[in-house]
Structures are given as structure tokens and as C-alpha cells.
Chain A
Amino acid sequence: MNVLIKKNVVSLFLLMWMVCCSAQAQQLHVEISGIGASQIPIAIAGFTNEQLAPQIVTSIIKDDLSHSGYFKVMNILGSVSETDNVNLTDMKSQGADALLVGSVQKTEDGRFDVRYKLYDTNKMSTLSFFNVTQSPQFLRVAAHKVADDVFEKLTGIRGIFSTRIAYVTKRGPNYQLEIADSDGDGVQVAIKSKEPIISPTWSPDGTKVAYVSFELKKPVVYAQNLVTGQRTLIANYKGNNSAPAWSPDGNKIALALSKDGLTQIYSVNVDGSGLQRLTNSAGIDTEPQYSADGQTIYFTSDRSGGPQIYRMGANGGEAKRVTFTGSYNITPRISADGQTLAYISRRDNKFQLYVLDLGSNQELRLTDTQDDDSPSFAPNSKYIVYATEIAQRGSLGVVSVDGRTKQRLTIQAGDVRNPSWGPFMK
């Protein structure tokens, strides 16, 4: 069984690699390393008739689950549909705790209906019996949604396979803000520019991205509707306008402005009106981040001499320092479950990704690279995407919050930087 799994994992990896490289140059290449602490063995059969669809749905599901670090995928040769009889005792004796089967059918209006059934071989019961319908163009999303459901049913944690990431690429003099599925596929270009773009951040409903653009020879904040392409100018005050962060209710954007001298934190309504100053310190205050309940803002401040992470109420007020180790802690990110703070810390001249468990106050370094930047939590709080540099080229890393599961995402030519993980979509 082990040899079969290894062979299949390697051939899957090769197949994925070939698919990645033979696709358009914009594709993000994915490399996986490491495994999770404990993995749930799940047997996955082919879905009947899936070869008739533009994507092999189970191939995507198997990649999602095995890359997550939470699963050990066991391949069942051949296809088994959700209406076929299955021998769960047999599956259990082969070491599988769960079994996934299904089918793919074309609907009358030209879409694809993916039906599936997830069995628990220990309880000899059905954990999930459902279907997802999607247009051919977005069939991958259907596969990711199945993987999300399987993930949640077996781990209790919401899956992030159907979420997307935004990131910036630089190829020579050309910058692009791109949106891709969280596995690096399905790349779409949101904006092209001859000047840098930094600090993209998603609206809570996943339809807009705010970012900083240098097209006017200074940093200016825009919000862009991804679906329509319409841009709204959020802030072009005198001086710098940067570090946008959307409030969880979607109504405000916090940002860093230097309009009154040193860089300080303000908030505005999403149409750019209603400017409110939130900090008033003698140092640089920047990189505001709302907590998921919208009550707290974490931010970077060098009011104590060097940059450290603080938090304050969402309307400003007294700030409380959060980081005390090392002399340089920046770019705070707070997980949606409020339990983990991620940040970049400079120690021994290395800029590396750390997490702080806010309950136990335990700190953990997550990376071995030395030029890390821009961490962003997955909406289920279990993974962080970040920018790093390998062989002097910008690439993205994904790491689980326990540091065990790692992925690297690169483009064929050029640099990738500034990732931002998108929200759960309805």
C-alpha cells in the first residue's frame, strides 16, 4: 500500500508539475514539502465520468487534501459513484478512516454537476452526501468545494481550498496585481502598471481589493472592484497614503497617512469620506489590522525607539504593546479566531516570519529563509501565505501555523510579492 501511495504521489506531483509548466506563463508553480503532525488516511476513488469534464475533479481534490498536511491520500484505482455499493469494512482493514466516491454529470444548461459521498469507515456511516454544480470555466472551484467539505467533516476546521489569493508580480518594468486560486491555478490579472503596486488587501466579501499604487509618483490608495474593474480613489492626501486594511463589516478602511507630518493611522469610509485620525504618537504608526470582531486594531509603531507591535481600540485610544522580544517587529496579522498573531521579526539581520500564541504567549519561528515579508492568514486561521526571496527571486511561501506543512509558489520569470489571502466566499 505504501509503495502504491508513494508512486501515485510522485506521479501526481509530476503530472501537476507538467500541467503547471505547459500552461500559460502566468501560472504559479507549486512545490510542497513537509507533512502535518497527524494525518487522516482517506481513500479516494475516481468519480465516474469525470474524464468527460475539462478537469479531473478527483485529481484536484487529492492534491488539495494531501497538500494540506492533514491527510494521507490513498488512491483507489478505477471509479466508484455515490450510488455504488461500497465495502467499508474492507476499506477500514486497508487503513482508511474515510472513503470518498462520486460522479460527474453534464446538466441540460451545459454546466457540470459533481455528486459525492463521504463515508466514515469507523462509524460505518455517511458523513456527507452532496453535490456542487458549476460552469465548465469554474469546474476547479467545484472540486475545491468538495475538498473543503471533506476537510471540514473530518477535521472540524473549515477548508480554504476554494479561497483565492491576491499578489503582485514584477516582470522587468511591468507590475501586475493578480488573483489566483489558493493552489496557484486560475490566475487572472486585476491591474497592470508600469509603477509599483504594494499592500493589496481584500474586502470582507471578496469582491474588492484595496492597494497602494505609485502611478502618480507617490503612494496612493485605491479600491478596485474585481468584477467590474471600477476603481475608487480612497486616499490621495498630501504625502504618503498606504497600508490599507478593510474593517470586517466592510464599511471602513484603516490606513497610514503622512499628511500631518509623521506617518500615523487613520480610517476612512469605503467611499473615501469621513477621515478620522486614530493615533497620535511621536513616532511612525503604520500597518493597521482589524481583529475579526472589528473591535481592535493591531499596528506597527516605533514610538519606543524601534518598530514593535501594538494594539488599540478600533476608534483609537490608548495603545498597548504586544511584542517584547527583539528590537524590530513589524507587519502584524491577527488570525480570524483571534488566537495567533503573525509578524515579521528581524533577528541577527534576518527578517523571518514568527507567530505568537496570544493565549500561552509562546513564540514560534516559522521560516528558515531570511527575507520574509507580508504575511497573510488563511481565513480558517491555520495557514499563512507570505513573501520571501529564494536565489534572489521573489516567491511566495505557505506555511501551517505549527510550521510543519510548507508550500512554495513561484512564477516562471520575474518576482512575486505582497500576497493577501482572500476571505471565504458565499
Chain B
Amino acid sequence: MSSNSIKLALVFAAAALASACSTPKVEAPAPVAAAPAPAPVKPVETRTVAPVVAPEVDPLNDPNGVLAKRSVYFDFDSYIIKDEFNSLLAAHGKYLASHTGRKVLVQGNTDERGGREYNLALGQKRAAAVTKSLTALGVAGSQLEAVSLGKEKPKAAGHDEAAWAENRRADIVY
């Protein structure tokens, strides 16, 4: 028997007792509304398993993934990609080659020394070195654009070699 039935039974019992002990002067107790019969409850099926599909994290958005690093740094007056950046380029090359709908802008930068327009062209050489590497890794030319910001948007604001080294850089922008 359910707890509700027990409760009701007690109510009836109390009411019966109350009416039996009541003095003749007491009014007849108000009729207790008849409680509706309890609805039949379906028993829970504890043995089914609802399948869930885990959302696929775009490797591009993984802050710890191989694609998190997007910058290639260059030596002074140089447009040659140093060996330490080969794995970075390989990772982006692989991703882009297998996601042909993705396009990237590669923005080349220079340090602050020198003329604005000439540095714009030098920065573009750095970007072009990166896109050339990506093309060699199988990325289509239509997915790539090499441009330059020259010395116009330095990441590091200082006027020493540390700042200059930070700014001699090509960024892969998705």
C-alpha cells in the first residue's frame, strides 16, 4: 500500500474516532471529500541507456592543440623560416589540406626600423615564405593570402632588440 493510502486511512480512522467520541451537542463533522483514487504509476525502466554524441572540438579552438601557435619569427633582415617552426607549419598545413573550405590570411610584420613602404614589402616577403611552405605541404593557393602590416601594428612596443625580435613575425590568421 502507498503512503497516500496510509495517510487517507489514518484520516478516516481519525474522523471515525472523532465522530465516535464527540458529544451529542457537537455538529456532525463536515463530510470529508472523497480522495480520488491514486493514478497508476509506470515503473521506471532503469536498464535503458540513452546514447549521447560528444561535440567535436575544432582543433583550431583548442588552446593546447598543435594549431594554437600561429606565429613564425624571423631573424633581422631575413625571410628564411628557421627549423624550429617546421612542426608549426606542418600542423597548419595538415589542417588546411584536410579542411579545404578554410582560408587563412598570413600577415607579415617587421620591426620599427626603416621606411614604412619598404617595410611593408619586406613584411610581405615573410608572409610569402610562410605561404610557400604551406603550399609545399599541400595547401591550395586559393586558401592562402600573403599580406603585410609592415611596421604599422607592432605587437611589442619597446625600442630594443627584444621588442624588435617579437615584431619580426608572420601570423597565420584564420
Name A's B-contacting residues (CB within 8 A). 196, 198-199, 214, 217-219, 238-240, 242-243, 256, 258, 261-263, 284, 286-287, 300, 302, 307, 328, 330-331, 344, 346, 351, 373-374, 392, 418
Q: Count the B residues whose beta carbon is within 8 Å of the partner chain — how many?
A: 24
| Cβ contacts under 8 Å, B155 to chain A | none
Residue of chain B at shortest CB distance from A196: B152
Tell me how far the C-beta of A300 lies from the nearest C-beta in chain B, rounded to whole angstroms: 6
| Cβ contacts under 8 Å, B114 to chain A | 328, 330, 346, 351
B161-174 vs A: 1/0 string, CB under 8 Å?
A: 00000000000010
**B105 and A218 form a contact (CB under 8 A):** yes
Instruction: Name the one of A263, A346, A374 contacting B124, with C-beta atoms under 8 angstroms.
Output: A263
Name B's A-contacting residues (CB within 8 A). 105, 107, 113-118, 120-122, 124-125, 128, 145-150, 152-153, 159, 173
Interface of B, secondary structure class, is: mixed
10 other contacts beyond A219-B120, A239-B145, with CB at 8 A cut-off?
A198-B152, A214-B153, A239-B146, A240-B121, A240-B124, A240-B148, A243-B117, A262-B124, A330-B114, A331-B118
Tell me how far the C-beta of B129 lies from the nearest C-beta in chain A, rounded to whole angstroms: 12
| Cβ contacts under 8 Å, B118 to chain A | 284, 286-287, 300, 302, 307, 330-331
**Residues A351 and B115 in contact in the complex (CB < 8 Å), given A198-B152, A217-B105, A218-B147:** yes
| Cβ contacts under 8 Å, B107 to chain A | 217-218
**A240 and B147 form a contact (CB under 8 A):** yes
**Residues A284 and B116 in contact in the complex (CB < 8 Å), given A217-B107, A218-B107:** no
Instruction: Name the one of B105, B122, B146, B150 contacting A284, with C-beta atoms under 8 angstroms.
Output: B122
Q: List 8 A-B contacts (CB under 8 A).
A: A214-B153, A217-B107, A239-B146, A242-B117, A256-B117, A262-B124, A263-B124, A302-B118
| Cβ contacts under 8 Å, B148 to chain A | 218-219, 240, 258
CA distance A281 to B105 in the complex (A): 25
**A256 and B146 form a contact (CB under 8 A):** no
CA distance A243 to B119 in the complex (A): 12
**Residues A238 and B117 in contact in the complex (CB < 8 Å), given A214-B152, A218-B107, A262-B125:** no
**A199 and B121 form a contact (CB under 8 A):** no
CA distance A351 to B115 in the complex (A): 8
Tell me how far the C-beta of A260 lies from the nearest C-beta in chain B, rounded to whole angstroms: 11
Instruction: Name the one of A196, A217, A331 contacting B115, with C-beta atoms under 8 angstroms.
Output: A331
Instruction: Name the one of B147, B149, B150 contacting A239, with C-beta atoms under 8 angstroms.
Output: B147
**Residues A286 and B117 in contact in the complex (CB < 8 Å), given A217-B105, A219-B148:** yes
Residue of chain B at shortest CB distance from A331: B115
CA distance A243 to B121 in the complex (A): 10
| Cβ contacts under 8 Å, B121 to chain A | 240, 256, 258, 262-263, 284, 286
**Residues A331 and B145 in contact in the complex (CB < 8 Å), given A214-B152, A284-B122:** no
The 8 lowest CB-CB distance pairs between A and B, nearest first, are A218-B147, A263-B121, A196-B152, A284-B121, A330-B115, A243-B117, A258-B124, A330-B118
Q: Which of B122, B128, B152 has the most CB of A within 10 A?
A: B152
| Cβ contacts under 8 Å, A286 to chain B | 117-118, 120-121
